[in-house]
A and B are shown apart, each in its own frame.
Chain A
């Protein structure tokens, strides 16, 4: 793991970049780090659980389908805390995928399938969710959760 924390930018946004090896252990590590970051950012326990679970699913997706479990391929995880939300980026070094090609796990014909629920869980738990081709190749999941008390990071009044 290679963390690369950055201080607050001019607009108060804070960013942390982490590079993970494609290992099973990276999944739980990413979830634990994310849950701590979300807690420190002011999210309640329920939201911390949802954010942590979404990162877990994002990294599982990168590990299984992006890296295809090849350790030498990296998973790039970034957290961006703005004044009103936490934005999370999960990028892999795979061939990419299109969201519209992912089957609906709630469809009757898919209910008994043993896989295919990760994207659905992320979409359910986060406020915003999208997948886009990364400039460097691979897929990039971008998801965010709004802070319920968005003024917590606002600069003090003059």
Chain B
């Protein structure tokens, strides 16, 4: 399934609804370009909604990490919410649960940036 990233604002938090396959190629490249664009536009509080991401490989995992470090370098923060089963198991076994701030509820995730 083709990867999509659709941003929307909730207060000062930019929520990015993602869907499709976050894998080597178009998926990873799209996320990379999108996050760099949001940072260039001045957004510093980014929340990735992964509920509809149905596939994730090592390249996609790497792009999530890369997006996180890019946000941190820009003095911002990037958090994750609503992990699909595929994303959840990948982040669990790669120990990235210890890196990312992960939420199941959107309101709580938005509030956590304050």
Q: Are B57 and A112 in contact (CB-based, < 8 A)? A: no
B-chain residues with CB within 8 Å of residue A24 when the two chains form the complex: 24-25
What is the chain A residue whose CB lies nearest that of B25?
Answer: A24
Tell me the interface secondary structure of chain A in the complex.
Answer: helix
Contact of A27 among B24, B62, B86, B99 (CB under 8 A): B24
Q: Are A112 and B65 in contact (CB-based, < 8 A)? A: yes
Query: In this complex, which of A112, A113, A114 has the most chain B Cβ atoms within 10 angstroms of its Cβ?
Result: A114
> Chain A interface: which size bin?
20 to 34
**B51 → chain A closest CB, angstroms:** 18
**A149 → chain B closest CB, angstroms:** 24
**Known: A105-B94, A106-B94, A111-B98. Is A117-B58 also a contact (CB below 8 A)?**
yes
B-chain residues with CB within 8 Å of residue A27 when the two chains form the complex: 23-25
Interface residues of B in 57-114 (CB under 8 A from A): 57-59, 61-63, 65-66, 68-69, 86, 90, 93-96, 98-99
Q: Are B57 and A56 in contact (CB-based, < 8 A)? A: yes
**Known: A53-B57, A60-B59. Is A117-B94 also a contact (CB below 8 A)?**
yes
Q: Are A118 and B58 in contact (CB-based, < 8 A)? A: yes
Beyond A57-B57, A112-B65, 13 additional pairs, beta carbon < 8 A: A27-B25, A28-B23, A57-B58, A105-B95, A113-B65, A114-B62, A114-B66, A115-B59, A115-B62, A117-B94, A121-B57, A121-B58, A121-B93
Interchain Cβ contacts under 8 Å between A and B, 28 examples: A27-B23, A27-B25, A53-B57, A56-B23, A57-B57, A60-B24, A60-B57, A60-B58, A60-B59, A105-B95, A106-B94, A111-B96, A111-B98, A112-B68, A112-B69, A112-B99, A114-B62, A114-B65, A115-B59, A117-B62, A118-B57, A118-B58, A120-B94, A121-B58, A121-B90, A121-B93, A121-B94, A124-B93
